Amino acid sequence: MSTLGFAITFAVWGMVSALAPKFVEMYHLSFVQKSVLIAIPVLLGSVGRLPMGILADKYGGRRVFALLLLFCVIPAIGASFANSFASLIAWGFVIGCAGSSFSLDSYNCAKQRWPRPGG
């Protein structure tokens, strides 16, 4: 189940870069604008891993991962309503949260593989 959830968040996270050629065509973006549009979710996903790891330690990885999956629905749908470069950037920030799923999936796998020693 964790692998399926990770695949979903990864698909949402990679959505911007996969659709970048279409966005360039629709909004006549320059090379720099396209690069920024692709980089925003990647950078935010990297930065978001630390807070997600802290939340997983505090509340449990499965609970935080489930909330992240529910949250990822919002930007996945919302990005389809973007009508400018600025709105794409804004949705890119929110989509970047899906990239933090790496830390949650690693947390869940590590917890299943190496349980804490008793005592």
CB 12 within 8 A of CB 91: no
Q: Residue 109 pLDDT > 80, yes or no? A: no
Task: Kindly list the structural domains of the chain, giving each domain's residue range(s) and its CATH number in brackets, ordered by start.
Answer: 2-112 (1.20.1250.20)
* CA separation for the pair 57, 46 (Å, rounded): 18
Predicted model pTM: 0.77
Helix (H, G, I), strand (E, B) or coil at 118: coil
The position carrying tokens 């190496």 is: 114
The position carrying tokens 């006549």 is: 28
Q: Give the pLDDT confidence of 50-105 residue by residue, as tens digits.
A: 888 888 889 988 888 889 889 989 988 998 898 999 999 999 998 888 888 877 76
What is the structure's pLDDT at 112? 61
Per-residue H/E/C for 30-75: CHHHHHHHHHHHHHHHHHCHHHHHHHHHHHCHHHHHHHHHHHHHHH
pLDDT band at 106; cut points 50, 70, 90: low
